[in-house]
Structures are given as C-alpha cells and as structure tokens.
C-alpha cells in the first residue's frame, strides 16, 4: 500500500495580475490605437486571468519606430555596457522567479514543478550567458567588430512563453539589436511582466517592445518594411507563410518549427533509466514540445519489457492542478490545441493503432488530455508522421541499428532524437547518421544556454543558443 499525497499548492497570491494590460511600446504601457482587447484564460480552470491589448498595424508600426529610434544609441554602446543591462535583467528575473513561475503556470497550464525548476532557471541562465557575450563579440569568430542587424521582429509560441522570449531577446540585445516581440495570444502575461522587468533594470526605452495579439499582429510585424531580422518559433505552416513574406527582402530569417523526434531504445539500454527518458521525452510539458520524443523506437527483443515498465510508470503520473507541487501533468494550453490532439488520437484509432492510457481522472473544467500511448503503429500511420504536440506517444519497433536510423529519419522534420544504449561506440555511430539538430544520448530534453539548438528540413533553419546563436543577430 502506498501513501496518499496531500495537496501541496503553490500560493497564487504571490503574483499580482492586473485586470488589463496595454502594449509595451517605447518604455510605456499603452492601449491599442483602436482600443481592441482580448482575454487570456487559465487553461486549467478556464478562469479569465486578464484582458490584453490586441495590437493592430498602427501599433506594430509605433513599436518598430520606437525600436528604430533606440537602435542608434543601443548599438553604439560598448558591449560591456549592454552586458550590464543584461546581467541586471537576469538578476531581476532570478529575484522574481517565484512570481513568474506562478504566473506562467496560471497562463499556460504547465505544472509549477516545471516552471519553477526548468523554465525560470533556464530563462535566467540564458540572459546571464548572453550578457557574458556582449563584450566578447570580437572573439566569437565573426570578425573583429561584428555589426548588429537593426530591429528584430520576433514571434513566439505558447509552449514555453518566457523561455522562448529569453531565447529571442537575450542574443538580440547582446549583439546590439533592438526588438519588437509578439508573444502567443494564449500566453501573453509573462512577456508583459518581463516588460516591467526591463523597466526595473533601467533598460533604455524602445530597446524592448512587446506587442500582444494574435496571428494578425504577428503577420504585421513580420511584414513591416523597417524590420531587419525576423525570428519565429511555432508551427511549420506559419513558418512557411513567414518565409514567403520575407522572401525577396533583405530581412534575415530564422525559423524554429515543429518536430517528430525519435527516441530510440536498444536492447542493451538500462530499462528503468530509458523509461524515465521516454516519460520525460513525451510527457514533459504535456508533450507540447517541438523537440518531444513523440516516436518511441524500441528494439523488438525488449519491446514487451520496456512497454510493461513504461505502462507501470505511467500509472504513477499525477495529472491535475498545475499549481500543486506534486503534479506531473498539467492542462493542455487551449481548447484549440486540445481539439487538435483529440482529433489526431482519434485518427490513430481509426487507422488501426491500439490506444492505451493509465487510469486517470480528468478535472471537470479546463482542458485536459490523459497520457496516451499507441502500439501497433506503422510508418504509414498519421500518428507516426504528424506532430501531435500533446501527451501522445507512438510506439514502433526495429530489429537492427540501420532499421532504427531509417525509421528515425523517415520524417519531414529533423529537430531532435534520443539514443538509449550502453555502448558509446553505438551512440557515436547512430548520432552521426541521425538527421536531427540535437541528439541526446541516455538522456532527453536536456537544455543549456551554451548549446546550440535548431532543426533540419521542415523543422526550420538557424540555431539558437551558444556561440552559434549570435550569428542570427549579426551582419555576417
């Protein structure tokens, strides 16, 4: 008999959420020119958290103009001075990380365990890391005095709202660019909190501008003629649209799009460790992760052993209140995303794959999806090819390393892969054949600001993180 968990909720009283927020342009919050607003909800409860301005073309234009004005003096600052601002931002983020973790959990639906222990520490680390580069750009391998590009228009998704903001803003500022960033429409609150962090850090006005809104706002930003650099993370469909908008202009572009990562388990892998990696790979952040290990490729001889252990482990996952410190699986970010996941899982069943979930009670309000795995999946199944972006694992088998490579690479994507084996030589041999931007060995979803991240094929192009991440914001 096991012990029951007592509720362990983090207090939401530690963060203040205003009833409404404006756009952050030129160092001030202001309403949209046409007064339009939209609501952001807590996906775990459907409670309305706040009302946020919907930026139109006029507002995007004002934000880009503010960033352009700020560019002259910001880019002329000695790198060491820019670095001081970034260090200050990093420290303020650390000081306020508890508030930000609660805010992110409320607006996104992800467990507090993850925002507290993964998102927020990574956010601060990213600013600290690029703060360190600001005065060392001459030694980054891009010439003696690499120049910034100008105004960066950045559009980010809802799965890691503040972390994607950090990935975008930290390298842009370190290299002397100014930015206009558009957060996703379902998760605008942490970016607006960040706007206030910039003010507290004394960042000169106009260096960072935050315009909230939906895809129309993003499209206006990307198309703005005075933007020099476009950085986008999100769906492959929108990424292709953006590539078309930017084609034929002098704008520099980086795209971080979807994925269908293979997590490959060989017969010599330590099973319990591999199971933890499989769980982390597809159930971390409810599987709403572009580099998720959404395809499990397990060697046929250990298939039953691995699946038995995996199912046992899934039975222990705790789904529910994201603010509870014991929660493993939180809410799906939106009703639309839940509908997409539900439809793809139904397609999996309709095409003949076998669906399984542990016994798991779903809350009566909010957007929820039980951890799910599909066996009997073949390469032709939709759930083996399309990105589901939810807590759904497709299990396939292989017999030889060559077959594992062929199956892993048989995807239009190429973002991530995992290898589980005891043999170092096999790890190296496999990693060199996998067409994936990041290959994890005997671990998964490990992140570090020093390490470049990005895709092949339809997962996009360009790298974020590390020294490589500077290149996207330099005129090289």
Q: Residues binding ligand NAD: what is the number (CB under 6 A)?
A: 26
Residue window 96-115: x/- pattern of binding to Mg ion, with contact defined by CB under 5 A: -----------x--------
Find the shortest distance in angstroms from Cβ 217 to ligand NAD: 7
Residue window 80-119: x/- pattern of binding to ligand NAD, with contact defined by CB under 6 A: ----------------------------------------
Q: Is 58 a catalytic residue?
A: no
Which positions from 368 through 407 interact with ligand NAD, judged by CB under 6 A?
387, 389
Q: Is 254 exposed, middle or buried (0-12, 13-18, 19+ CB in 10 A)?
A: buried
What secondary structure letter does DSSP report for 43? T
Tell me the two tokens of residue 99: 């508030």
Kindly indicate which of the ranges 23-31, 40-48, 64-72, 152-160 contains the residues binding ligand NAD, using the contact rule CB under 6 A.
Answer: 152-160
Find the shortest distance in angstroms from Cβ 98 to ligand NAD: 25
Q: Is 290 a catalytic residue?
A: yes
Spatial distance between the Cα atoms of 399 and 404, rounded to a whole number of angstroms: 7
Spatial distance between the Cα atoms of 54 and 32, rounded to a whole number of angstroms: 6
Kindly indicate which of the ranges 17-25, 89-97, 122-130, 250-258 contains the residues binding ligand NAD, using the contact rule CB under 6 A.
Answer: 250-258
What secondary structure does DSSP assign to 239-304, as a single string? HHHHHHHHTTSS-EEEEE-----EEEE-TTS-HHHHHHHHHHHHHGGGG--TT---EEEEEGGGHH
Nearest-CB residue for ligand NAD: 218
Spatial distance between the Cα atoms of 192 and 197, rounded to a whole number of angstroms: 9
Helix axes 271-283, 303-314, angle to 10 degrees: 60
For residues 156 and 419, which CB has a smaller minimum distance to ligand NAD in the complex? 156
Neighbouring CB atoms inside 10 A of 448's CB total 12
Find the shortest distance in angstroms from Cβ 374 to ligand NAD: 17
Which phi and psi angles does 290 have, rounded to 5°? Answer: -65, -30
Spatial CA neighbour of 327 closest among 10, 1, 3, 2: 10
Looking at 10, 104, 290, 464, which residue is catalytic? 290
What secondary structure letter does DSSP report for 324? B
Q: Exactly one of 188, 258, 261, 469 binds ligand NAD (CB under 6 A); which one?
A: 258
Find the shortest distance in angstroms from Cβ 164 to ligand NAD: 7
Find the shortest distance in angstroms from Cβ 214 to ligand NAD: 5
Which positions from 251 through 310 interact with Mg ion, judged by CB under 5 A?
none
Which positions from 163 through 222 interact with Mg ion, judged by CB under 5 A?
186
The binder of 218, among Mg ion, ligand NAD, none, by C-beta within 5 to 8 A per type, is ligand NAD
Kindly indicate which of the ranges 169-177, 178-186, 268-276, 369-377 contains the residues binding ligand NAD, using the contact rule CB under 6 A.
Answer: 178-186
The binder of 107, among ligand NAD, Mg ion, none, by C-beta within 5 to 8 A per type, is Mg ion
The answer to whether the beta carbons of residues 65 and 58 sit under 8 Å apart is: no
Looking at 114, 185, 256, 458, which residue is catalytic? 256
Cα dist. 450→31, 139, 355, 453 in Å? 38, 15, 39, 10
Spatial distance between the Cα atoms of 174 and 340, rounded to a whole number of angstroms: 38
The answer to whether the beta carbons of residues 418 and 376 sit under 8 Å apart is: no
The answer to whether the beta carbons of residues 427 and 450 sit under 8 Å apart is: no
Cα dist. 395→232, 259, 293, 305, 461 in Å? 30, 16, 11, 13, 28
Is position 40 an interface residue for Mg ion (rule: CB under 5 A)? yes
Neighbouring CB atoms inside 10 A of 195's CB total 22
Q: Exactly one of 111, 171, 218, 371 binds ligand NAD (CB under 6 A); which one?
A: 218
Residues in contact with ligand NAD by CB under 6 A are 155-159, 182, 184-185, 214-215, 218-219, 222, 233-235, 238, 241-242, 256-258, 290, 340, 387, 389
Residues in contact with Mg ion by CB under 5 A are 40, 107, 186
The catalytic site residues sit at 256, 290
């Amino acid at each position: 008999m096991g012990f029951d968990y007592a509720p362990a909720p983090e207090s939401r009283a530690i963060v203040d959420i205003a009833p409404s927020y404006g756009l952050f342009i030129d160092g001030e919050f202001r309403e949209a020119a046409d007064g339009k607003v939209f609501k952001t909800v807590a996906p775990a409860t459907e409670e309305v958290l706040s009302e946020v301005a919907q930026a139109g073309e006029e507002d995007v234009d004002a934000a880009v103009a503010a960033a352009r004005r700020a560019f002259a003096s910001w880019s002329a600052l000695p790198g060491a001075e820019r670095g001081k601002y970034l260090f200050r931002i990093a420290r303020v983020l650390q000081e306020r990380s508890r508030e930000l973790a609660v805010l992110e959990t409320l607006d996104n639906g992800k467990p507090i365990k993850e925002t507290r222990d993964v998102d927020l520490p990574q956010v601060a680390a990213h600013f600290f890391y690029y703060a360190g580069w600001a005065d060392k750009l001459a030694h980054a391998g891009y010439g003696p005095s690499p120049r910034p590009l100008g105004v960066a228009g950045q559009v980010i998704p809802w799965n890691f709202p503040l972390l994607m903001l950090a990935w975008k803003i930290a390298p842009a500022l370190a290299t002397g660019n100014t930015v206009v960033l558009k957060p996703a429409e379902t998760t605008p609150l942490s970016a607006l909190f960040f706007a206030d962090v910039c003010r507290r850090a004394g960042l000169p006005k106009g260096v960072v501008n935050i315009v909230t809104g939906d895809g129309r706002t993003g499209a206006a930003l990307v198309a703005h003629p005075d933007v020099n650099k476009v950085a986008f993370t999100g769906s492959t469909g929108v990424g292709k649209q953006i590539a078309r908008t930017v084609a034929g202009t002098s704008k520099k572009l980086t795209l971080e799009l979807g994925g269908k990562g293979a997590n490959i388990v060989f017969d010599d892998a330590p099973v319990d460790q591999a199971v933890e990696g499989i769980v982390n790979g597809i159930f971390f952040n409810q599987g709403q992760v572009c580099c998720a290990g959404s395809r499990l490729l397990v060697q046929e001889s250990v298939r039953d052993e691995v699946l038995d252990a995996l199912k046992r482990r899934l039975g222990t996952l705790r789904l529910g209140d994201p603010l509870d410190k014991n929660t493993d699986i939180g809410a799906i970010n939106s009703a639309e995303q839940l509908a997409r996941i539900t439809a793809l899982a139904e397609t999996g069943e309709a095409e003949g794959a076998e669906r399984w979930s542990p016994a798991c009670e779903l809350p009566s309000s909010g957007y929820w999806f039980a951890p799910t795995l599909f066996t009997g999946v073949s390469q032709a199944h939709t759930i083996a090819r399309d990105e589901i972006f939810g807590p759904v694992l497709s299990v396939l088998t292989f017999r030889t390393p060559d077959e594992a490579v062929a199956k892993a690479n048989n995807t239009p994507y190429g973002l991530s892969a995992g290898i589980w084996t005891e043999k170092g030589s096999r790890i190296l041999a496999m990693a060199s054949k996998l067409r994936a931007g990041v290959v994890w060995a005997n671990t998964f979803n490990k992140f570090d600001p020093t390490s470049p991240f990005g895709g092949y094929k339809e997962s996009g192009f360009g790298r974020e993180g590390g020294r490589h991440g500077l290149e996207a914001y330099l005129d090289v």
